[in-house]
Structure 1
Amino acid sequence: MRTIDTLLAQYGESHRNHVNEWVHIVCVPLIVFSLLGLLWSAHPSVALLGSILALYYYYKLSRAFAAGMLAILAIMLGLLLMMPALTILPVSLALFVLAWIGQFIGHQIEGKKPSFLDDVRFLLVGPLFVLGFLYRRLRLAY
């Protein structure tokens, strides 16, 4: 079994409840966007470097997922570029906190702890889990 399939299966074990799945579909992209915003607040090149490093990891797992994440990260970075500079940090902090609260509520409903508590790689797998929903809806292979 490919590493990506194993990681998604392991991640999926603590994301079976449909409410928790939908919480993740909403909150994971918000966390990614807010994290990029926090990095952008340090300097836009830091957000770009973080994106490149994440994309490298995704590419090693799956070219199809890397392509999808490239599109998503490009859109998110574009949104940050269009935002007034003074709003990026406070908006990112607020989204980060609220989205993580949502995640923990989702896991409370699920009755299982977040996967990243066992393996930090799952912080990067979460966006792929959400992207996998989209790929399955569009009948795209990964």
Structure 2
Amino acid sequence: MKTLEQWFEEYAVSHQNPKNKVIHYICVPAIYFSVVGLLMSIPSAIIADTLQLQAPIIENWAFVVLLFVLVFYIRLSVAMAFKIAILSAICLVANYYIGQLVPLWLFSIGVFVIAWIGQFYGHNIEGKKPSFLKDLQFLMIGPAWVVENLFSKK
């Protein structure tokens, strides 16, 4: 199994251009955010009936999926899992409130499409294919790479 550092080194190969990096710093969190919103939009009566917590922020499919996402990150780095947990909590809360104002699924689809257009534009600038075309696990490495690059003291 690769270490987080090995994943980052391999991911960085196709993310050298400064413009592509900036695009990724915006679009990767936007995609993560929109996926959380889409998952929150799936009817979750089964989860709500099972948990009976009266806490809509955690009684949804996004929360369930994010628990499994955290397992992926814990296997790589507990510190990174903690950072991603914070990002995930922010996404859950923000999406909850956005969903009170507009149809969350529609908003999330819009963000998702625009952010992916940005991603592919960034890779066009870079002149290299997106890493996830080589290995789908890079879809999970992208958010960690952004978090690490934006909030580390390097």
SS in structure 2 of the partner of residue 120 of structure 1? coil
Give the Cα–Cα distance (whole angstroms) in 1 for the partners of residues 17 and 33 of structure 2.
24
Runs of 4+ in 1 over 2 A off after TM superposition: none
Matching residue's letter, 1:21: K
Could you tell me how far 1:45 is from its partner in structure 2? 1.9
Residue 97 (structure 2) aligned to one of 70, 76, 82: 82
What residue number does 2:41 align with? 41
What residue number does 1:26 align with? 26
What residue number does 2:80 align with? 65
Identity of aligned residues (%): 39
Matching residue's letter, 1:11: Y
Give the Cα–Cα distance (whole angstroms) in 2 for the partners of residues 101 and 89 of structure 1.
18
What residue number does 1:130 align with? 146
SS in structure 2 of the partner of residue 14 of structure 1? coil
Report the structure number with the largest CA radius of gyration.
2
Residue 105 (structure 1) aligned to one of 113, 121, 138: 121
The verdict on how the C-alpha distance between 1:85 and 1:56 changes in structure 2, with shifts beyond 3 A counting, is farther
1:117 aligns with 2:133: yes
TM-score by length of 1: 0.92
More helix by share: 1
Matching residue's letter, 2:130: P
Per-residue Cα deviation, 1:62-101 (whole angstroms, up to 9, x for no partner): 1111010111100110112222175211110000000000
Unaligned runs of 5+ in 2: 44-58
Matching residue's letter, 1:8: F
Q: Which structure 2 residues correspond to residues 8-23 of structure 1 after superposition, within 5 A?
A: 8-23=8-23
Aligned-residue CA RMSD (Å): 1.6
Matching residue's letter, 2:9: A
SS in structure 1 of the partner of residue 141 of structure 2? helix
